[in-house]
Structure 1
Amino acid sequence: MDVSAWIKEAALARDKAYAPYSGFRVGCALIGADGTVFHGCNIENGAYGPTNCAERTALFRAIADGQAPRSFQALVVIGDTPEPITPCGVCRQVMIELCSPDMPVYMANLAGDVQETTVSDLLPGAFMLRV
């Protein structure tokens, strides 16, 4: 699979978003080491705090399905925004712990704009708890 195919997978995930309060739907495709695509979408909750972003949904799904942390090839996130959508701060913190620092992150919008970065570039000076 190539990046354009991964973007289509993220768009499919976006279609499943549960966003009755904001109407702001986001999709994510996390690519496992073996090429498996783990879909994630944002899931809102009326209490707001329990709301989960698409990126974290995909990451938590992959870990729950047995994927090893830091074994992923890439993450793609897509939203209906004027510019390519970027992960929030909480998602960036989760990504820095569960993904390799040099893992590519592709940020896209429905208009076809795409930006590429890496996990470490999204969160310079990241906090890491050493255990």
Structure 2
Amino acid sequence: MTTISPSFSPAEAVPEKDGLIHGVSAEELQVLGEQCFDAKTRAYCPYSLFRVGASLLLSPSVTLTPIPTSTATTYPASHIITGGNVENASYPVGTCAERVAMGTAVLAGYRSGSFKAVGVTTDIADFCSPCGMCRQFLREFLALDTPIFMFNKEGKWIVRTMGELLPLSFGPDVLPPREEMRKAQEEDKAKVA
């Protein structure tokens, strides 16, 4: 079964003065959308039948050799990592598309600073944002200004930054240095002893 991806026109948002939308070009947005739509078709969701696809656009400065993808596009597909939701007969054991994509990226060696944008799509007419668990998971590896493009089934989209989707978030930058935490724990143990 071949699925035709919609055309994702950047005219649906006000481009920045340089013609970009949150730093993403029209060509990058098109491929980001195509790849998350393609990932959605490969989702494993026999229980909920709710397909979700996610795509991660890598920053051009990334020097790792990305994992290969099977889809050729005008923008190098090697700059995109995708994921689809994977369910299990025990419902809570399933994994969301965003976490599948990010887990794949992390295993390939990508870390914070490697990602330029995220795309997410479902089969519904409304826009569907990453769930709370995925927001926190993405926050570990995304800058707060990273755009997350949410596509509906027709290819229309809205965009929010990581910081807008998870305000007052807790991320790795919030943790004090390990030495400071270890010292505080040792001081607490000494007080109890």
User: Common fold, TM-score beyond 0.5?
Assistant: yes
8 A contact 1:71–1:100 mirrored in 2: no
Structure 1 distance, partners of 2:115, 2:31, is 16
Match of 1:77 among 120, 125, 130: 120
1:68 aligned residue: 111
Q: Secondary structure at the match of 1:18?
A: coil
Cα displacement (A) at 1:84:
1.5
Structure 2 distance, partners of 1:37, 1:128, is 24
1:103 aligned residue: 146
State the aligned residue count: 131
Structure 1 or 2: more strand by fraction? 1
2:102 aligned residue: 59
Cα displacement (A) at 1:4:
1.8
TM-score, normalisation: structure 2: 0.65
Identity fraction in percent: 34
1:18 aligns with 2:44: yes
2:6 aligned residue: none
What RMSD in Å do the two structures reach over aligned CA positions? 1.3
2:156 aligned residue: 113
Cα displacement (A) at 1:106:
0.1
Match of 1:27, as an amino acid? G
Structure 1 or 2: more helix by fraction? 2
Q: Which runs of 5+ in 1 are unaligned?
A: none
Report the more deviating stretch, 109-118 or 31-40.
Answer: 31-40
In our comparison, the structure showing a higher alpha carbon Rg is: 2
